[in-house]
């Protein structure tokens, strides 16, 4: 998918190098062409100089001859002056010409020949003739008339003519060369310019196709993506980095789409959950504008007949006016206004139809910092409240309806025993009244036990925590059970060393210990022994009640904590009881966050061990006693 083998950089570098090379090459050609043009031009100019120099030298030769001949005719030294001047000048002119043609061997040879001929003419002809003329003018003129001198000069001039013709020929060639080279340079220059321009255009096109077009495609796709086109993708057919860019853009778009899909899915899930909950849930921004409201909240709002417009505070004010306690609500608003980060839970009841609700509101924080809004939840608790009321009424009614007759029974039995008030009873009457009293007491305990559970059921039993001295408490339990133990012929011992303080509800722990002690006494036959022990270490306090009574079959130990369960041994021995004592004990222990264990073997005895935390266990149950674990 990715063509990384030839990256964009290397391609552009290669193309740039190629372009540079071609342009340099073109200009090198142009330069060399101009160089040869200059060479040709220089050669042509030198040819001109050579021809001029040759003309000057030829003129000197002519001057020599003319001077010599003038002297012969006139015999005046004045006519010898051009001759003398030419003799003096010509060697230097020959050297100058020699230098000019130094690079041309053929012409150089000609110059040397001309120089030799000039020298020969001067030494072997002109000088002897002049010397003769001074002595014998006639002989000299006769010798001159023999045409020897003219012939020699003519031969020299012919050589000059050849030399000049040759040089002119060369000059013409150089000029034509120069012209040709000039044209060549011009054509090459134009070609180079056109070629370079063309190459640059091609190069720009290449870059455009390679970089700009793909980048523009990515930019366009990015623009579409920004405007919400989730399907915006680009072809990944570019080169190197451009392909990587396209690929990365597509990956990013894929990731974004996946994230968006996930987010949409999460939102759908959240919305489904929120709509499925039985609580009304609503969220606002920091100004109280409603951002979200679930189906239940909309329903509740509609059922209450309240207009669902305005901010949450407008709505809350309308709602507050419909409750039985609007002022309490206004106080809550004031509290919220003063302390916007507060979490508030409050009950309210609608004045017109008596429906009850729990409202809850808490700030919503973003990334643990700024408050971005509030969440409001409302739960209808009309039925729960009704059930609660029924349970409360049940407890109250049962209490009243059972305890009132019991009060009469117990009270009148007591009056019967008051001889001053009711006169003396005979023995049989006394016995009967005893039976009534005993059973009234039993009934009283049963009612108390039943009400204990009725209260637990109604969640109306709460723990009043204080520091409790367990040793003292167990000692008191022993003391109050002492008469019963004595009656049954059972020894009751307390083996409590030191002190053991715990945080607990003293009256409930006392109830627990009384239950355990009276149980142990009931199941221990005369002559037996019940031992109480208290220990505290490592955050736990233990109360142990050990008897050597009839015991319980192992299989039944687990069911001991069920309400109304009675051990088979207890039933067999006809030991009275309701089967609620241990269930109550377990409920109390559980409410304190402790544990209760029973180990027993039939015929040998039973040991009940209660472990309670020394420090109060904080639970979210507001110290309410529930019957979790009871009967399990």
Partner 1 sequence: MSANGDARGIVLVADDDEDIRALVAYRLASGGFEIVSARNGEEALQLAAERRPDLAILDVMMPRVDGLEVTRRLRADPRTERVPVILLTASVQEADVARGFEAGADDYLRKPFSPQELGMRVQAILARR
The least distance separating partner 1 from the CB of residue 332, rounded to whole angstroms, comes to: 25
Strand partners, 530: 492, 547
Among the listed ranges 49-57, 397-405, 512-520, 614-622, the one in contact with partner 1 (CB under 8 A) is: 397-405
Among the listed ranges 80-88, 89-97, 391-399, 542-550, the one in contact with partner 1 (CB under 8 A) is: 391-399
The least distance separating partner 1 from the CB of residue 621, rounded to whole angstroms, comes to: 17
Q: Which is nearer to partner 1, 137 or 437 (CB)?
A: 437
The least distance separating partner 1 from the CB of residue 423, rounded to whole angstroms, comes to: 13
Residue 210 is given by DSSP the state: I
Residue from the set 407, 429, 430, 439 that interacts with partner 1 by CB under 8 A: 407
Does residue 395 belong to the site contacting partner 1 (CB under 8 A)?
yes
Using CB under 8 A as the binding rule, the residues of this chain from 433 to 472 that contact partner 1 are 440, 444, 448, 451-452, 455, 460, 462, 464
The least distance separating partner 1 from the CB of residue 546, rounded to whole angstroms, comes to: 31
Distance CA 589, CA 321 (A): 45
Does residue 420 belong to the site contacting partner 1 (CB under 8 A)?
yes
Nearest to 228 by CA among 249, 254, 257, 255: 257
Strand partners, 76: none
Residue 367 is given by DSSP the state: T
- CB atoms inside a 10 Å sphere around CB 445: 15
Q: Which is nearer to partner 1, 144 or 505 (CB)?
A: 505
Does residue 226 belong to the site contacting partner 1 (CB under 8 A)?
no
Does residue 412 belong to the site contacting partner 1 (CB under 8 A)?
yes
Strand partners, 374: 284, 363
Using CB under 8 A as the binding rule, the residues of this chain from 601 to 630 that contact partner 1 are none
Residue from the set 331, 414, 493, 558 that interacts with partner 1 by CB under 8 A: 414
Does residue 425 belong to the site contacting partner 1 (CB under 8 A)?
no
Q: Extract long-range pairs of 164-173: CB within 8 Å, 24+ residues apart.
A: 164/51, 164/54, 164/55, 164/58, 166/106, 166/107, 166/110, 167/47, 167/50, 167/51, 167/54, 167/107, 168/47, 168/51, 170/43, 170/47, 170/104, 170/107, 171/44, 171/47, 171/48, 171/51
340 to 379: interface string for partner 1, x by CB under 8 A: ----------------------------------------
Residue 80 is given by DSSP the state: G
Using CB under 8 A as the binding rule, the residues of this chain from 23 to 82 that contact partner 1 are none
Place of tokens 């916007």: 340
Distance CA 619, CA 598 (A): 26
Q: Which is nearer to partner 1, 310 or 437 (CB)?
A: 437
Does residue 3 belong to the site contacting partner 1 (CB under 8 A)?
no
How many residues bind partner 1 (CB under 8 A)? The answer is 27
Burial 120-131 (b: 16+ CB within 10 A, else e): ebbeebbeebbe
In the chain, the N- to C-terminal Cα span, in Å, equals 65
Distance CA 496, CA 500 (A): 9
Q: Which is nearer to partner 1, 164 or 451 (CB)?
A: 451
Q: Which is nearer to partner 1, 404 or 428 (CB)?
A: 404
Residue from the set 146, 205, 411, 527 that interacts with partner 1 by CB under 8 A: 411
Distance CA 260, CA 256 (A): 6
The least distance separating partner 1 from the CB of residue 459, rounded to whole angstroms, comes to: 12
Burial 564-577 (b: 16+ CB within 10 A, else e): ebbbebbeeeebeb
Does residue 400 belong to the site contacting partner 1 (CB under 8 A)?
yes
Residue 208 is given by DSSP the state: I
Does residue 404 belong to the site contacting partner 1 (CB under 8 A)?
yes
Does residue 120 belong to the site contacting partner 1 (CB under 8 A)?
no
Among the listed ranges 155-163, 217-225, 246-254, 399-407, the one in contact with partner 1 (CB under 8 A) is: 399-407
The least distance separating partner 1 from the CB of residue 560, rounded to whole angstroms, comes to: 25
Residue from the set 408, 466, 486, 601 that interacts with partner 1 by CB under 8 A: 408
Does residue 393 belong to the site contacting partner 1 (CB under 8 A)?
no
Residue from the set 34, 215, 406, 540 that interacts with partner 1 by CB under 8 A: 406
The least distance separating partner 1 from the CB of residue 472, rounded to whole angstroms, comes to: 22
The pair phi, psi for residue 106, each rounded to 5°, is: -65, -50
Residue from the set 130, 381, 396, 433 that interacts with partner 1 by CB under 8 A: 396
Does residue 419 belong to the site contacting partner 1 (CB under 8 A)?
no
Distance CA 355, CA 110 (A): 141
Nearest 5°: CA angle at 141, between 68 and 55?
30
The least distance separating partner 1 from the CB of residue 400, rounded to whole angstroms, comes to: 4
Q: Which is nearer to partner 1, 302 or 438 (CB)?
A: 438
Give the sign of the dihedral formed by CA 39, CA 41, CA 44, CA 50. Answer: negative
Among the listed ranges 17-25, 102-110, 129-137, 406-414, the one in contact with partner 1 (CB under 8 A) is: 406-414
Q: Which is nearer to partner 1, 223 or 438 (CB)?
A: 438
The least distance separating partner 1 from the CB of residue 441, rounded to whole angstroms, comes to: 9
Among the listed ranges 217-225, 395-403, 475-483, 575-583, the one in contact with partner 1 (CB under 8 A) is: 395-403
The least distance separating partner 1 from the CB of residue 406, rounded to whole angstroms, comes to: 4
Does residue 410 belong to the site contacting partner 1 (CB under 8 A)?
yes
Does residue 399 belong to the site contacting partner 1 (CB under 8 A)?
yes
Nearest to 544 by CA among 553, 535, 552: 535
Distance CA 316, CA 348 (A): 12
The least distance separating partner 1 from the CB of residue 487, rounded to whole angstroms, comes to: 20
Cβ-proximal residues to 421 (8 Å cutoff; 6+ apart), any chain: 415
Q: Which is nearer to partner 1, 259 or 407 (CB)?
A: 407
Do the Cβ atoms of 50 and 101 come closer than 8 Å?
Answer: yes
Nearest to 570 by CA among 629, 607, 521, 517: 521
Q: Which is nearer to partner 1, 205 or 405 (CB)?
A: 405
- Strand pairing class (540-547; 605-613): antiparallel
The least distance separating partner 1 from the CB of residue 422, rounded to whole angstroms, comes to: 9
Do the Cβ atoms of 479 and 492 come closer than 8 Å?
Answer: no
Place of tokens 């964009």: 8
Residues lying near partner 1 in the complex (CB under 8 A): 395-396, 399-400, 403-404, 406-412, 414-415, 418, 420-421, 440, 444, 448, 451-452, 455, 460, 462, 464
């Amino acid at each position: 998918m990715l063509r990384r083998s030839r990256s964009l950089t290397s391609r552009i570098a290669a193309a740039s190098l190629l372009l540079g090379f071609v342009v340099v090459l073109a200009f090198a050609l142009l330069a060399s062409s101009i160089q040869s043009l200059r060479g040709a031009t220089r050669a042509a100019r030198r040819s001109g100089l050579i021809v001029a120099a040759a003309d000057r030298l030829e003129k000197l030769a002519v001057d020599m001859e003319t001077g010599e001949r003038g002297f012969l005719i006139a015999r005046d030294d004045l006519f010898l002056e051009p001759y003398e001047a030419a003799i003096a000048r010509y060697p230097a002119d020959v050297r100058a010409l020699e230098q000019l043609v130094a690079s041309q061997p053929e012409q150089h040879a000609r110059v040397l020949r001309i120089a030799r001929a000039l020298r020969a003419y001067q030494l072997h002809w002109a000088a002897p003739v002049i010397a003769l003329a001074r002595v014998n003018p006639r002989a000299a003129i006769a010798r001159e008339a023999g045409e020897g001198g003219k012939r020699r000069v003519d031969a020299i001039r012919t050589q000059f003519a050849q030399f000049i013709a040759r040089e002119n020929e060369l000059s013409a060639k150089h000029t034509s060369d120069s012209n040709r080279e000039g044209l060549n340079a011009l054509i090459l220059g134009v070609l180079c310019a056109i070629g370079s321009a063309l190459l640059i255009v091609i190069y720009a096109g290449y870059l455009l196709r390679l970089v700009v077009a793909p980048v523009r495609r990515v930019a366009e796709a990015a623009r579409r993506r920004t405007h919400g086109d989730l399907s915006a993708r680009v072809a990944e057919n570019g080169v190197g980095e451009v392909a990587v860019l396209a690929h990365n853009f597509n990956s990013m778009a894929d990731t974004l789409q996946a994230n968006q899909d996930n987010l949409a899915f999460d939102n759908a899930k959240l919305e489904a959950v929120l709509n499925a909950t039985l609580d009304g849930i609503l969220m606002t921004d920091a100004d109280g504008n409603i951002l979200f409201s679930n189906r239940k909240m909309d329903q509740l709002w509609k059922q209450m007949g309240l207009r669902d417009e305005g901010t949450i505070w407008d709505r809350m004010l309308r709602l507050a006016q419909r409750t039985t306690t609007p002022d309490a609500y206004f106080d809550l608003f004031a509290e919220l206004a003063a302390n916007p980060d507060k979490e508030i839970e409050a009950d309210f009841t609608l004045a017109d139809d008596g429906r009850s609700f729990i409202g809850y509101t808490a700030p919503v924080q973003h990334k643990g910092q700024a408050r971005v809004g509030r969440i409001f939840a409302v739960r209808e608790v009309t039925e729960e409240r009704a059930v609660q009321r029924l349970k409360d009424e049940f407890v109250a009614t049962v209490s009243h309806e059972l305890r009132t007759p019991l009060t009469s029974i117990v009270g009148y039995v007591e009056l019967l025993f008051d001889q001053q008030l009711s006169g003396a009873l005979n023995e049989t009457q006394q016995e009967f009244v005893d039976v009534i009293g005993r059973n009234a007491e039993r009934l009283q305990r049963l009612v108390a036990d039943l009400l204990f559970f009725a209260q637990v059921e109604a969640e109306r039993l709460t723990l009043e925590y204080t520091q409790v001295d367990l040793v003292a408490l167990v000692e008191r339990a022993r003391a109050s059970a002492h008469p019963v133990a004595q009656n049954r012929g059972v020894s009751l011992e307390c083996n409590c060393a030191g002190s053991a303080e715990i945080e607990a509800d003293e009256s409930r722990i006392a109830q627990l210990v009384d239950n355990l002690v009276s149980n142990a006494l009931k199941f221990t036959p005369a002559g037996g022994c019940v031992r109480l022990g208290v220990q505290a270490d490592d955050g736990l306090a233990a109360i142990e009640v050990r008897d050597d009574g009839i015991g319980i079959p192992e299989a039944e130990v687990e069911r001991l904590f069920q309400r109304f369960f009675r051990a088979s041994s207890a039933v067999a021995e006809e030991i009275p009881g309701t089967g609620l004592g241990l269930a109550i004990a377990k409920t109390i222990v559980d409410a304190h966050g402790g544990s209760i264990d029973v180990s027993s073997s039939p015929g040998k005895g039973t040991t009940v061990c209660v472990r309670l935390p020394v420090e109060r266990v904080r639970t979210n149950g507001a110290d309410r006693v529930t019957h979790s674990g009871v009967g399990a």
